[in-house]
């Protein structure tokens, strides 16, 4: 039985399926086709004609002119989804609590474009050191989380976790560990992936996604102590009843490790809960793990048709899909994810 759980008090999303919770939910219900022509996202050549991108996206359109010209794409996505989540939550961040409100953001490799373009400058400039100092922070993985803190004045623990498909679950687990110990009152938790030629071609070279087009997006969730929310007369939009992480070892495969972590997360969440919906990251090991640990009664929803091949963002969109009510009747959902190298994670979420 859980003695401490996380509540979602607000959320925001940017994805090809929709911008903002309402639009995203409407997109899911309409069965809208989220893929767009690659040319609407970038003028550069892309490995696929259709991508799960945000056509014509600019930071300025969403955030205004001030302070946006140097933002890379993933940072802009995190800022916009973060603003939505802050706006959606009843939690008011002000000088009384801003030192106790922080950020946990999941990523795959930061911005491949920022890092690669900066490297390119060192090769192509007249002198290799004639790079733009203002763009240097964009090369670092934690740039987006830092910018979210700056823009919204969040001075509590600020963390970036790297984990691709499992980054969102790692971020939730991190938030759980921090908040259980009282290190923060609220945390803006999410994950982001940007679609650039760099990302799309790197992803295509892996050839693991069965031709699934590269994607992008971000979802952010305001996470608070669920019991404290209820004590204050506030109803969480969803409750993270348990989140667990693990890794495969020599002699076990992803399905083994995932089945074990699913059993553990169900045990932790409590036997009174019956999973009616599973939201998967659409990896090969998930089906056998679910067959073993959950059975086939629960409906399975893969996030790929919503997210495309966008590992970290897809993890955040798994939770967004649930919150948007895509499965209609779901009361208790299981979210599963794994990386190609064998990191696995699972969460039980009630709505």
Cβ proximity to another protein, 145 vs 302, nearer residue: 145
Tokens of 202: 């790197």
Distance CA 17, CA 306 (A): 7
Residue 2 makes contact with another protein by CB under 8 A: yes
* Shortest Å distance, C-beta 65 to another protein: 19
Q: How far is CA 251 from CA 187, 248, 259, 336, in A?
A: 37, 8, 15, 21
Q: How far is CA 143 from CA 82, 174, 207, in A?
A: 14, 18, 29
Cβ proximity to another protein, 124 vs 272, nearer residue: 124
Cβ proximity to another protein, 32 vs 230, nearer residue: 230
Q: Which stretch binds another protein (CB under 8 A): 10-18, 83-91, 162-170, 279-287?
A: 162-170
Binding mask 165-194 for another protein (x = CB under 8 A): -xx--x--xx-xxx-xxxx-x---------
**Other Cβ atoms closer than 10 A to 100:** 17
* Shortest Å distance, C-beta 46 to another protein: 8
Cβ proximity to another protein, 113 vs 332, nearer residue: 113
* Shortest Å distance, C-beta 214 to another protein: 12
Site for another protein in 231-250 (CB under 8 A): 231-232, 242, 244-250
Tokens of 248: 């495969």
Cβ proximity to another protein, 26 vs 131, nearer residue: 131
Q: How far is CA 162 from CA 81, 174, 181, 193, in A?
A: 19, 12, 22, 11
Q: Which stretch binds another protein (CB under 8 A): 21-29, 55-63, 94-102, 330-338?
A: 94-102
Distance CA 132, CA 110 (A): 18
Distance CA 226, CA 247 (A): 28
Site for another protein in 194-223 (CB under 8 A): 197-198, 201-207
Cβ proximity to another protein, 272 vs 328, nearer residue: 272
Residue 147 makes contact with another protein by CB under 8 A: yes
* Shortest Å distance, C-beta 79 to another protein: 13
Q: Are 289 and 141 in contact (CB under 8 A)?
A: no
Binding mask 114-133 for another protein (x = CB under 8 A): -xx-xxxxxxx--xxxxxxx
Tokens of 172: 């939730």
Cβ proximity to another protein, 23 vs 118, nearer residue: 118
Cβ proximity to another protein, 25 vs 345, nearer residue: 345
Q: Are 243 and 346 in contact (CB under 8 A)?
A: yes
Site for another protein in 300-319 (CB under 8 A): 311
**Which residues make Cβ contacts (< 8 Å) with residue 267, sequence separation at least 6?**
none
Site for another protein in 322-351 (CB under 8 A): 339-343
Distance CA 16, CA 235 (A): 29
């Amino acid at each position: 039985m859980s003695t401490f759980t996380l509540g979602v008090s607000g959320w925001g999303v940017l994805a090809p399926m929709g911008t903002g919770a309402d639009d995203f939910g409407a997109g899911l219900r309409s069965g809208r086709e989220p893929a767009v022509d690659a040319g609407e996202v970038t003028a550069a050549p892309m490995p696929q004609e259709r991508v799960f991108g945000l056509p014509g996206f600019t930071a300025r359109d969403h955030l205004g002119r001030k302070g946006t010209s140097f933002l890379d794409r993933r940072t802009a996505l995190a800022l916009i989804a973060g603003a939505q989540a802050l706006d959606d939550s009843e939690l008011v961040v002000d000088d009384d609590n801003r030192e106790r409100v922080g950020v946990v953001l999941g990523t795959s490799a930061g911005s491949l474009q920022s890092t690669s373009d900066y490297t390119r400058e060192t090769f192509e400039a007249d002198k290799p050191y004639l790079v733009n100092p203002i763009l240097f922070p964009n090369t670092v993985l934690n740039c987006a989380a830092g910018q979210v803190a700056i823009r919204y004045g969040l001075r509590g623990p600020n963390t970036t976790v790297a984990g691709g498909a499992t980054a969102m679950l790692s971020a939730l687990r991190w938030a759980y560990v921090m908040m259980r110990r009282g290190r923060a009152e609220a945390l803006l938790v999410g994950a982001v992936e940007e679609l650039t030629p760099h990302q799309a071609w790197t992803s295509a070279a892996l050839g693991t996604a069965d031709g699934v087009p590269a994607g992008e997006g971000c979802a952010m969730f305001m996470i608070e102590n669920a019991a404290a929310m209820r004590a204050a007369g506030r109803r969480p939009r969803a409750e993270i009843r348990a989140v667990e992480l693990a890794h495969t070892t020599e002699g076990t495969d992803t399905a083994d490790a995932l089945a074990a972590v699913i059993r553990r997360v169900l045990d932790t969440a409590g036997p009174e809960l019956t999973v009616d919906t599973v939201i998967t990251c659409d990896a090969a090991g998930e089906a056998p793990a679910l067959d073993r640990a959950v059975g086939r009664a629960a409906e399975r929803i893969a996030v790929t048709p919503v997210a495309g091949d966008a590992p970290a963002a897809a993890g955040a969109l798994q939770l967004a899909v649930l919150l948007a009510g895509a499965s209609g009747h779901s009361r208790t959902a299981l979210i599963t994810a794994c990386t190609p190298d064998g990191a696995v994670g699972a969460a039980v979420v009630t709505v």
